[in-house]
């Protein structure tokens, strides 16, 4: 299985901060990387797919980049509603696997 | 806008069978792989498996042998069965979908509301 490792596991931030979350794959996954946002008690929602494509309705302050084994989710100016746990997920091969999550607090 | 609504028993005893179903409202049923994932309390997400409209399946090897997915295209409904549950199977179970023809460009969207399954004697 491809192991996905996120860092940091948690992050205490402030409104307006620029936030960067990294995701590393145990082997190259080309650009087959997705990001999800999960708010407490809710199902995850798709944030970014194919490394850098924003899902419809996702604010432009979110961005994704990377390729191969190293990927980044960035939030240019953190808003209170961005408090959530963020997961990366590889779709390169089966079984699809997720990172362990990064919890953002304000 | 497509919505997924799931249901099933939330309390099981060890060795029993977990059964969950998910119904799809809206959009084409044949253009996607219909997927189950789970999330143990306080933990990350695990992909369980998927099924398409033809009944073709892919399973996570970690669960293979215990899991079966089925589909009823007439009802736009798909189901998960997991036999011989233990405490390790306690989790919130989610249904979702991924594009059928995306190659490796696959993503899960949207998701059902989740069902908490507790395993306790």
- Rounded Cα–Cα distance for residues B22 and B15 (Å): 23
For residue B99, list its beta bridge partners: B32
What the block records as the tokens of B70 is 């089925």
- B104 with A92: Cβ contact below 8 A: yes
What the block records as the tokens of A47 is 């944030």
Mean pLDDT by 10 residues, chain B (121 residues): 94 97 89 96 96 96 93 96 97 96 88 98 93
Which residue on chain B is closest to A36 by alpha carbon? B108
Task: Using an 8 Å CB-CB cutoff, list chain A residues near B110.
Answer: 45-46
pLDDT value for B28 = 78
pLDDT tens-digit map of A59-86: 999 999 999 999 999 999 999 999 999 9
pLDDT value for B74 = 92
Chain Cα centroid distance, residue A104: 11
> Considering CB atoms only, which of B43, B61, B109 is closest to A55?
B109
Residue with tokens 């189901």: B79
Distance from CA of B43 to the nearest CA of A (A): 7
pLDDT tens-digit map of A1-15: 999 999 999 999 999
Chain A residues with a Cβ under 8 Å from any Cβ in chain B: 30, 32, 34, 36, 43-46, 49-50, 55, 87, 89, 91-101
pLDDT value for A78 = 97
pLDDT tens-digit map of A9-42: 999 999 999 999 999 999 999 999 999 999 999 9
- Tell me if residue B11 falls in helix, strand or coil: strand
For the segment A32-53, the average pLDDT, to the nearest whole number, is: 97
- Rounded Cα–Cα distance for residues A73 and A22 (Å): 6
- Rounded Cα–Cα distance for residues A62 and A64 (Å): 7
Q: A56 — phi, psi (to 5°)?
A: -50, 130
CA-closest candidate to residue A1, choices B6, B53, B46: B46
- A95 with B62: Cβ contact below 8 A: yes
Task: Using an 8 Å CB-CB cutoff, list chain A residues near B61.
Answer: 95
Residue with tokens 């996570």: B60
Beta strands in B18-119 (DSSP E): 18-25, 32-39, 46-51, 57-59, 67-72, 77-82, 91-99, 115-119
Q: What is the DSSP letter of A82?
A: G
pLDDT value for B27 = 75
- A50 with B113: Cβ contact below 8 A: no
N-terminal to C-terminal alpha carbon distance within chain A? 34
pLDDT value for B87 = 97
pLDDT value for B80 = 98
Task: Using an 8 Å CB-CB cutoff, list chain A residues near B111.
Answer: 43-45
Which residue on chain B is closest to A5 by alpha carbon? B44
């Amino acid at each position: 299985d491809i192991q996905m490792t996120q860092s940091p596991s948690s992050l205490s931030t402030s409104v307006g901060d620029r936030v960067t979350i990294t995701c590393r794959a145990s082997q190259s996954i080309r650009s087959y990387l997705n990001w999800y946002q999960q708010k407490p008690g809710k199902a995850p929602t798709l944030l970014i797919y194919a490394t850098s494509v924003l899902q419809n309705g996702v604010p432009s302050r979110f961005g994704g980049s990377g390729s191969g084994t190293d990927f980044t989710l960035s939030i240019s100016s953190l808003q209170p509603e961005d408090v959530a746990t963020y997961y990366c997920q590889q779709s390169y091969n089966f079984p699809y696997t997720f990172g362990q999550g990064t919890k953002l607090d304000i | 806008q497509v919505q997924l609504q799931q249901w099933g028993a939330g309390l099981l005893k060890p060795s029993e069978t977990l059964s969950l179903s998910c119904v799809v409202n809206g959009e084409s049923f044949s253009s996607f792989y219909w997927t189950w994932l789970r999330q143990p309390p306080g933990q990350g997400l695990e992909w369980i498996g998927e099924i398409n409209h033809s009944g073709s399946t892919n399973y996570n090897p970690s669960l293979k042998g215990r899991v079966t997915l089925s589909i009823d295209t007439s009802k736009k409904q798909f189901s998960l069965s997991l036999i011989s549950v233990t405490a390790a199977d306690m989790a919130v179970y989610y249904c979702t979908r991924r594009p059928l023809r995306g190659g490796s460009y696959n993503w899960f969207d949207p998701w059902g509301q989740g069902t908490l399954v507790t395993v306790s004697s």
